[in-house]
Each structure stands twice: as C-alpha cells, then as structure tokens.
Structure 1
Amino acid sequence: VNPPLSTLPAPLEVPERAPDQSLFSYLYKSGRAYLGFYKTGIKNIWTNHKLTRSVKASLRTKSPSNNSDKDASSTPQKIDLPYDGRVTRGEFQLLLRNRHDITRIPAFLLLFAIFGEWLPLIAIFFTAIVPNTCRIPSQIQKELEKAESRRHKAALERKTAMAVAAKSGVDTVPEKKRIEEGVEPALNQDPKALGQVPDPKSKTSLLYFSRHFSLHSPRWEGVSIAPPSFMLRRRLRQHLKYLAEDDALIRRDGSVRDLTDEEVAVACRQRGIDVLRRGKGELRKELDTWVK
C-alpha cells in the first residue's frame, strides 16, 4: 500500500547555532546540511527511477488481474484499476511520483548550479520546478498554508455568492437543482462528496473545485483572469479519476490503517483535506471516511 520512503523528502537536520558560534560558521554548516539534503533527494530520484524500470519490466509479463474495485458496490460507479490491476498501490504511487520528479531535474539542477548552498532561500519561490524529494520542510509548510488558505477563501466566497443569489432570487432554482443532483455538493463540506463530482458545467463551479484541489496556479487570481474552462474541466476530471483509482487501490491492497502517517498526510492533501494543526488520528479517520 505504501510506496518506498525514497519518494518522500529525506529528513533534514539543520544544526542549531551555538551561543559562541559566528554567523559565518553557522551559515556554512547550515548550507552543508542543505547541500546534503538536496544530494540525497537527487539520489533518491535516481533510485526511484531504477525501481520504476523494474516495475515496468514486470508489467510486461504480468497478466491483468483484479481489474476492478472489490468494494465497487459502495461507490457510485465501477472503478477500473490503473494498469489493468497489475500494480500495487505502492507501485502506482512510485510510478506517478517519479514521473513528476524526473521531469523537474533539469531545471532544478540549473538552480542548484547557480545558487548552491543558497538554494533554500530561492527554492521557495520556484516550488513548481522543485522535485518532491528535494522540498524542504519550510517549503512544504508554506505551500500547505497557501493551499488551505486558498481553499477556505474559495468556500467563503462561494457561500457568500449563494446567499446573495438566494436573497435576490437570481439563479437559485438551477443552483439548488445542481446541488441536489450532486454536481456541486461542496457546501456541506463532506470530503467524500467532493470526490463524487461528475462534471461541473458552470465556470463558477469549475473554479471553485479547481481552487479546492489546487489544480491551477493562484497567479491567475492575482491578475483577476479566470483560466479557460476547458483546462479547468480537464484537470478536474483527471484529478478525480486519479483519486478514484487511488481509493480503489487502497481498498484492494489493504486499508487506510496500513498507510504510514506520512502517506496519510499526503493522501489528505491530494483530496483537499486540511492537515495543518490536526492530529494524526484525526487525519487517518477522515481519510478512512473518504476512502470507504
């Protein structure tokens, strides 16, 4: 159920500054720690690449099996497993994460060559081109804060717009109908319901769900221009398909109880579930509710 630990960032241990330590000495040792962290991250990408080659080789010899969700009766529609059910959930995540990371190596190595030990000060502004294995804790924390703040803002704006529409009588019937049909069930804040959105038709709905799952850059909002509907719809459809496949693999290969704490947090983030300032048990319970 769990992919290799090498798909996640390695532990980063930055030495604390001693009372009598000079600033130069402290910065030098801190830079060495970050340098080691980035080297480990790049090595892990290569390790994962070799593992993916092994998985792909085995796919050529495996026959399709268990190509559907064993708990399909509990879901609105039958879910076909990725790769005809020939990979485990851990292998599925390994393939996806390594593909994400390996395409970012050229740009990241260029930044690394230019800034060296100073890269941590620069990388936070270029998160999109930093491989997952090379993202430092403060960088991950900042991205989480931005994503959750954006999600809460989108929900608040949506509720406000709904309230205004209800008072003015504008489009209240179609909006109510869409909610009742399950096309836009987000107002009840049920994470499982969010995963069952078939295909929102309105631009407002697409924008809301895209912001909820962080599927488009917040820079669009900074320039007050909405991304094209076809792009939002395609990304939302792809993301919901991925979540359905991942849920099915978790059910087939075990359960949420079998996931590590780190994997639970990653899975929650992908499903638009807040993780900051929440306990591990609470996150595991909420993810279990979603997956079931």
Structure 2
Amino acid sequence: MTSTTTTFVAGAVAAARGRTVRQTAVRASTTRPGLLLLQSKAFYSSSSQPDPRYDSPINGPLSTLPAHLDLPPPRKPGESVLGYYFKIGKGYLSFYKTGLKNAAWVNPRLAGPVMARWREDRGYAGMVQNKWITRSDLQLLKRNQHDFRRIPFFAVLFTICGEFTPFVVALFSNIVPITCRIPTQIQSDRKKREQRIKASFEAFLPSTSINRPVEGLDKLTWKEKVHCSTVVGRHSGLWPSRILPLPFGFVLHKRLSRYEVYLATDDMLIAKGGGVMKLSPPELEVACVDRGIRVLGKSEQQLRADLQRWLTDSKKGVTIWERWLALPTS
C-alpha cells in the first residue's frame, strides 16, 4: 500500500465518524432534498456518465451505487503480463477509492439535510404526510445508513489488502459498502440469495404455508417469518435457521415490521415519481431485489413487468407476506 492510499483511508474513516453530517445538518432548511440526485452527480466517478433518460428524483443518487469499474481489455499477445495485471490492480484501486469517498464523505454530506428533516418529521410517516420526500431521498437515507456502519471495517480490510481486495471480499461480503461492491460480487450475492429462497421453499417452509392468505405480520408463524426474512435478506445467511431457531425472535419481528413500512413508502414514491419506466436499469434491479423478486437471467423488460405487477398487487391490497409465501412461477 502506498502512503497516499493509507492517508486516503484514514480520511475516509474520520469522515465516517459523522463530522460532515453534523456540519451539513445545520443547512437543512436551505437545501431542497429533491435536488440531491442532481447534486450528487458532481461527486460521481467522471468515467461513468448518467443516462439523461433516467434523470429523475425517482432514482437514488448515483453516488449511492457502485462506481464505474474501469478495467483494461483482454491482454493482447505479446503484452507484458506484469504490466497487464498492474493495470487491473490500478483499476480496482481507483474503484475502491471512489467507492470509499462516496460512502464516507459524499453520501453523508448529501444525507445530512434529509436526515435533519427526517428527524423533524419523526420518520417515514411524517415525511410522506408532509409530501416533501422523493424516492431519491429515501434511497439516499437507506443506503447511507447501510454503508455508514461498514466503512470502518472495510477501510481496515482495504488498508491491508489494497489492490488485492477483490480476492478477499467474497469472504466478507456483508461488510462491504454498496458503493464498493464489484459486479461479480453483486451477482454472487444475488445468486446466493435466490438459492436460499429456493431452499427455504423446498426444505424449510411447511407445505401448508405455501400460497396461503395472510392478513398481516402478526398472523405469521415463526417459520413463515423466517422464510419471509430469507426472501428479503433480513437476517444473515450464515445462521443455520433450518437447524437452530433464530435468537431474539422479537428483533426479527421488528425488522420485518420496519421493512414493511419501508416497502410501502417506496411503492408509493415509485408511483409518485412516474412509475417503473422512469427507473434506471440499476435502480430497477435494486428495487426488485428489495422486494424478493428474482432478477438473475431476466431481461430489463421482464423485470419492469415483475415490478409493475408488484405495484398493482399493492394497490389491490395483497399483503407482502402473501407474495413472499407464494411459490415463484418464474
């Protein structure tokens, strides 16, 4: 690791302690949260240009997604092996630096005003009632909170491994901020999630629970709660839930309850922002994964149809629990 990289990581950890958030929160009354998507573009990797078709507050700030990973083309005959892999290492190093910068400094800075208003309105209900929040604001809060907790651990990992970080993140995927997840890692995580869902249907969830109508969370059995949590990743896949009961069942219940509120809010803001056709392809995939919709092997058109079906079911009053207990047909 170079001294420059070490200095950068130290600065990232310092920013992760919340200094920037506290400084920015005092300006909450003068910043329009709906403009955060546009503001964040100035801090995003210059090598990745946003698509003007999806320039809408329905999409989260670009800085909350993984940065552009710029790798060299396949090695040409006669090209130096050492030089080629040096370019690859340089590409990954730049990627992780940008991701850490966004997670530790850019996103907390953008989230400060939104968080101040969130506290003032006392959560989702107040924000929705006052009608100022956009889906971009909601996703900024959610992703910033997710990444903020992981910065110190990942910064240590990055300091130790440097350019070799891609080789070890597979072992510690859960501690990696969203902004620092490489494409192969994202695909691997989604594949594991879908395998867990399939295994839950086949070997864990009782047959009497499949496709049964459920009015609410309180009507779920313990196994049904664990299954629903598996569908949307509310507990670690490392826990052998089919063998040992999850400890602190009330914690899982609380997580599912909060997630229900989040999805209801997100559904409403997608509709308010213009519908599924306004979502960019990366945001479309994230929205589907958030709802337990399978994404691997599907085209963009199929994903938009699946998400639209979800929103239609929400309007019809079909509970999320019924949808997660329904055996997937595709």
TM-score clears 0.5: yes
TM-score normalised over the length of structure 2: 0.69
Residue 310 of structure 2 aligns with which residue?
290
Question: 264, 276, 279: which is aligned to 2:284?
Answer: 264
What is the Cα deviation at residue 19 of structure 1? Answer: 2.2
Residue 183 of structure 2 aligns with which residue?
137
Percent of aligned pairs with the same amino acid: 39
Question: 71, 75, 81: which is aligned to 1:14?
Answer: 71
3-state secondary structure, aligned to 1:145: helix
Question: 154, 173, 176: which is aligned to 1:108?
Answer: 154
Question: 19, 33, 38: which is aligned to 2:96?
Answer: 38
Residue 132 of structure 2 aligns with which residue?
86
Question: 99, 112, 119: which is aligned to 2:165?
Answer: 119
3-state secondary structure, aligned to 2:217: coil
Question: 106, 111, 119: which is aligned to 1:52?
Answer: 111
TM-score normalised over the length of structure 1: 0.77
Q: Give the whole-Å Cα distance in 1 for the aligned partners of 2:297 and 2:78.
A: 35
Contact 1:81 1:249 in 2 (8 A): no
Q: Give the whole-Å Cα distance in 1 for the aligned partners of 2:69 and 2:178.
A: 14
Residue 217 of structure 2 aligns with which residue?
198
The one-letter code of the counterpart of 2:280 is T
Residue 230 of structure 2 aligns with which residue?
211
What is the Cα deviation at residue 80 of structure 1? Answer: 6.9
Question: 227, 243, 249: which is aligned to 1:224?
Answer: 243
Change (3 A) 1:60 1:275: closer
The one-letter code of the counterpart of 1:28 is F
Residue 250 of structure 1 aligns with which residue?
270
Cα displacement string for residues 186-238 of structure 1 (whole angstroms, at most 9, x for unaligned residues) = xxxxxxxxxxx433442111121111112111211289322132232222212
What is the Cα deviation at residue 158 of structure 1? Answer: 5.1
What is the Cα deviation at residue 254 of structure 1? Answer: 2.3
What is the Cα deviation at residue 120 of structure 1? Answer: 0.6
What is the Cα deviation at residue 29 of structure 1? Answer: 1.4
Q: Give the whole-Å Cα distance in 2 for the aligned partners of 1:225 and 1:17.
A: 49
Q: Give the whole-Å Cα distance in 1 for the aligned partners of 2:228 and 2:144.
A: 26
**Stretches (4+) displaced over 6 A:** 58-61
The one-letter code of the counterpart of 2:171 is F
Residue 24 of structure 1 aligns with which residue?
82
Contact 2:204 2:242 in 1 (8 A): no
Q: Give the whole-Å Cα distance in 2 for the aligned partners of 1:223 and 1:124.
A: 24
Q: Give the whole-Å Cα distance in 2 for the aligned partners of 1:117 and 1:53.
A: 31
3-state secondary structure, aligned to 2:218: coil
Contact 1:7 1:94 in 2 (8 A): yes
The one-letter code of the counterpart of 1:101 is D
Q: Give the whole-Å Cα distance in 1 for the aligned partners of 2:127 and 2:272.
A: 10
The one-letter code of the counterpart of 1:39 is K
Change (3 A) 1:30 1:83: farther
What is the Cα deviation at residue 30 of structure 1? Answer: 0.8
What is the Cα deviation at residue 85 of structure 1? Answer: 3.3
Residue 179 of structure 1 aligns with which residue?
212
Contact 1:108 1:129 in 2 (8 A): yes
Contact 2:118 2:127 in 1 (8 A): no
